[in-house]
């Protein structure tokens, strides 16, 4: 059974490698950060393009791996970088929004399993017009910061 799940995830992952488009929304460059052993929080990033002639509002996301996904943004507050939860993201007509590290992103809380690079996660984005878009997103390793050596 485990092998079947891996094969199905792999095949769905191949499909997700191509831009996903539904209801004038195109999602590209999506990935979820690999989780740290012992930690049950991670984040998801992507580029969302609204090709319609109206504003689209992203309200949130759901996934079988997390019962709580929130939209977050990093902001500078009193000289300190802080993360704040947001109710939604407005994507203007014919505009692109980037969900990226140190900016807008999705936070996945209480993840049910450790997420490993090379696997895939299903996330469904929900929009104000009651539309939704399900993505099969690859999990990628966190990039390590370069070590600075002091002499």
Contacts 24+ apart (CB under 8 A), 98-103: 98/47, 99/44, 99/45, 99/46, 99/47, 99/48, 100/45, 101/43, 101/45, 102/74, 103/73, 103/74
Between the alpha carbon of residue 79 and those of residues 75, 76, 83, the distances in Å are: 10, 6, 13
Helix (H, G, I), strand (E, B) or coil at 119: coil
pLDDT tens digit string along 83-142?
A: 899 999 999 999 999 999 999 999 999 999 999 999 999 999 999 988 999 999 999 997
The verdict on domain 2-140 having CATH code 3.40.640.10 is no
What pLDDT was estimated at residue 4? 46
What pLDDT was estimated at residue 81? 85
| Mean pLDDT, residues 69-80 taken together | 89
What pLDDT was estimated at residue 75? 84
What pLDDT was estimated at residue 91? 96
pLDDT tens digit string along 22-39?
A: 468 999 999 999 998 889
Question: Cα separation of 28 and 102, whole Å?
Answer: 18
Domain spans of the chain? 2-140
pLDDT tens digit string along 32-64?
A: 999 988 899 999 999 999 999 999 999 999 999
Question: Given CA atoms 89, 92, 94, 97 in this order, what sign does their dihedral have?
Answer: negative
């Amino acid at each position: 059974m485990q092998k079947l799940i891996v094969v199905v995830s792999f095949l769905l992952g191949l499909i997700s490698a191509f831009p996903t488009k539904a209801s004038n929304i195109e999602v590209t460059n999506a990935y979820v950060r690999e989780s740290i052993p012992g930690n049950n929080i991670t984040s998801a990033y992507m580029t969302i393009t609204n090709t319609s002639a109206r504003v689209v509002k992203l309200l949130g996301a759901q996934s079988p791996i997390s019962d709580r996904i929130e939209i977050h943004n990093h902001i500078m507050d009193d000289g300190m970088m802080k993360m704040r939860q947001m109710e939604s993201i407005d994507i203007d007509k014919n505009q692109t929004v980037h969900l990226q590290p140190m900016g807008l992103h999705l936070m996945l809380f209480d993840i049910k399993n450790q997420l490993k690079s090379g696997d895939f996660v299903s996330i469904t984005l929900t929009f104000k017009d009651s539309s939704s878009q399900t993505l099969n997103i690859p999990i990628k390793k966190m990039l390590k910061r370069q070590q600075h050596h002091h002499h």
